[in-house]
Amino acid sequence: MDLVIRDARVVDGTGGASFRADVAVDGGRIAAVVREGEGGRPTARRVLDADGLALSPGFIDMHAHSDLALLRDPAHEAKAAQGVTLEVLGQDGLSYAPVDAATLAQIRAQITGWNGGAPGDTTVDFDWRTVGEYLDRLDHGFDGEGIAVNAAYLVPQGTVRMLAVGYEDRAATAGELARMRRLVAEGMEQGAVGLSSGLTYTPGMYATDAELTELCRVVAHYGGYYCPHHRSYGAGALRAYEEMVALTREAGCALHLAHATMNFGVNKGRAPELLALLDKALDSGADISLDTYPYTPGCTTLVAMLPSWAAEGGPDAILARLRDAASATRIRHDLEVAGSDGCHGVPIDWDTIEISGVSDPGLAGHVGRTIARGAAERGEEPWTTARRLLIDDRLGSTILHHVGHEENVRQIMRHRVHTGGSDGILQGDKPHPRAYGTFPQYLGKYVRELGVLSLEECVAHLTSRPAARLRLPDRGLVREGYRADLVLFDPETVAAGSTFDAPRTLPTGIPHVLIDGRFVVADGRRTDVLAGRAVRRTGWTR
């Protein structure tokens, strides 16, 4: 054998009771799991004493924004150090494949606040156009060696609509819908695991339910799932969840609800209503799962708060409207009085909008301040500060949005179809700590300190459940024949090091992480191993 992990407390991902065992690894797979007292102890070229440590499957981040980070940062400690061995990219309906040259330029400008990669940024060579070419690029990674952790991909519906329709707020023609169906089918055939949407982001938000249903029919044919950032997490949250359940049932498509939260004051204490809605659908045969992060604030871009009409036409059109006094006045009214759809139908509270990052280093003085505080320091109204920042930073500013509720977070994470997703945006001087801390936060705060979940339950939420959603037949469990994507952590000390004040601090209590049996983290330090590859959809079709 290549390796024996000796005397570990095995938390195998099933949710069942943990047990003490030796786990042998050979050729990148788990070769034996020998429970204490049940057989001869395996031997190997290398033996790791795991007494006092828990051994679990690698954690699967069901909602990641590492689309460019995996190609820019070979260490990728933000995720590797957490024990993440697989990330799902292409989220919120906006990513970098499939594209043509014009669409790629627009996408790069639109989501630079999420991923960097603005036009003119040469840190990544955008040498792909199709989903398959992007996955090949991940496979080759750095000098052909691969990437830090494994990655799966969702076809981004907003990008697909941009290719077929553009940024126009209108229904797709029959020809445009046919093209979108082909693009989704091609992406699935090339290895994507499903389809994502960002239904509060342009241009994805312009799609009708009928259009989305047709695209979900394609996804269902290939055994994939639909992962929407749905139309509201605020005033219309429950209606938005009902909409997604109904359209995926009509399409016969599995549904995975992205960052399934109930935010803003209108939803305080309303998690039970969401869970009752989901339980009713599940009990009647719906195929539904969800992910959450274990924090209350959200994170997105400042421009995402604007009303959808102001975003029609893309980034250049947005900037033109912001510079125009009459259009800017209308935008302000929708934000502050009416409640824009970009802000989930709730009038914006500038005290809840904290700037977490800027694209222009000259604007760094805004970082760590709410819009309200920054405006007060300048002796001006919050809208004046926000408008100027949007223009000067060319829409590249990211925000923390302090609108969540702890009781909702805890109730949703207990649900029977819950999985973990960081929604980790790695850009900015002060990113959300979830990017570096989601998985140890679950294990440390919500398991050990608060007892919201047992250790065995929590590990199942972070491993086997997401693997089942992704239809991965050999990941997510500590079981013979499965891939040796493994994490060793100390249940008594594991904790997120990242905080809102120091968000890039690495976690503690996770000394070893393996991908395909190779140590990507050893003795608490990132090795130079690049064992990650693109994880493509299995060949199942309906």
Distance, in Å, from the CA atom of 441 to the CA atom of 436, rounded to the nearest integer, reads 10
**Domain coverage including residue 114:** 59-166+255-262+289-294+416-526
Q: Are residues 428 and 522 in the same domain?
A: yes
Sign of dihedral through CA atoms 534, 538, 541, 542? negative
The rounded average pLDDT for each run of 10 residues, N- to C-terminus, in the chain (542 residues) is: 97 98 98 94 96 98 98 98 98 98 94 92 95 97 95 98 95 98 98 97 95 98 97 95 98 98 94 98 98 95 93 92 97 96 94 94 94 96 97 94 96 98 93 97 98 98 98 97 98 97 97 98 98 89 58
Classify residue 27: in a domain, yes or no.
no
Note whether 237 and 405 are within 8 A (CB): no
Which pLDDT belongs to residue 39? Answer: 83
Using alpha carbons only, what angle is made at residue 249 by residues 63 and 269, rounded to the nearest 5 degrees?
60
**Residue 541 neighbours by CB distance under 10 Å:** 12
Domain boundary among the residues 368, 401, 434 is at 401
Q: Which of 401, 434, 453 is the last residue of a domain?
A: 401
Return all residues near 128 (Cβ < 8 A) that are at least 6 apart.
96, 97, 134, 136, 137
Domain co-membership, 442 together with 499? yes
CA distance 206 to 225: 21
Q: Do 345 and 434 sit in the same domain of this protein? A: no
Q: In degrees rounded to 5, what are phi and psi of residue 21?
A: -160, 165
Mapped onto helix, strand or coil, the DSSP state of residue 62 is coil
**Residue 243 within any structural domain of the chain:** no
Q: Note the pLDDT of residue 63.
A: 98
* Helix (H), strand (E) at residue 526: strand 525-526
- Quick one: tokens of 194? 């499903």
pLDDT confidence of residue 541: 60
Domain boundary among the residues 377, 401, 425 is at: 401
User: What's the pLDDT at 538?
Assistant: 80
Q: Is residue 433 part of a domain?
A: yes
In a domain, 368, yes or no: yes
For the chain, the straight-line distance linking the first and the last C-alpha, in angstroms and rounded, comes to: 39
Name the 3-class secondary structure at 506. Answer: coil
List, as one string, the DSSP characters of 21-51. Answer: EEEEEETTEEEEEEETTSSPPP--SEEEE-T
Residue 439 near residue 82, CB atoms below 8 Å: yes
Mark whether 420 and 521 lie in a shared domain.
yes
- The pLDDT value given to residue 428: 85
Which of 228, 256, 129 lies closest to 186 in space, CA to CA?
129
* Residue 222 counted as domain residue: no
CA torsion through residues 495, 70, 64, 88, sign: negative
- Whether 306 is covered by a domain: the verdict is yes
2 domain-assigned: no
**Distance separating alpha carbons of residues 532 and 42, to the nearest angstrom:** 27
CA distance 315 to 328: 15
Domain tally, the chain: 2
* Partners of residue 10 on adjacent β-strands: 19, 55
Distance separating alpha carbons of residues 11 and 31, to the nearest angstrom? 17
433 and 389 in one domain?
Answer: no
Evaluate if pTM is beyond 0.85: yes
Q: Find the helix or strand (DSSP H, E) in which 433 lies.
A: none
Strands, sheet with 194-198, edge to edge from the N-terminal-most edge strand = 59-61, 84-89, 150-156, 194-198, 225-229, 254-257, 288-292, 418-420
Q: Return all residues near 373 (Cβ < 8 A) that are at least 6 apart.
A: 351
Residue 7 contacts residue 51 (beta carbons within 8 Å): yes
Other C-beta atoms lying within 10 Å of the C-beta of residue 199: 23
3-state secondary structure of 532: strand
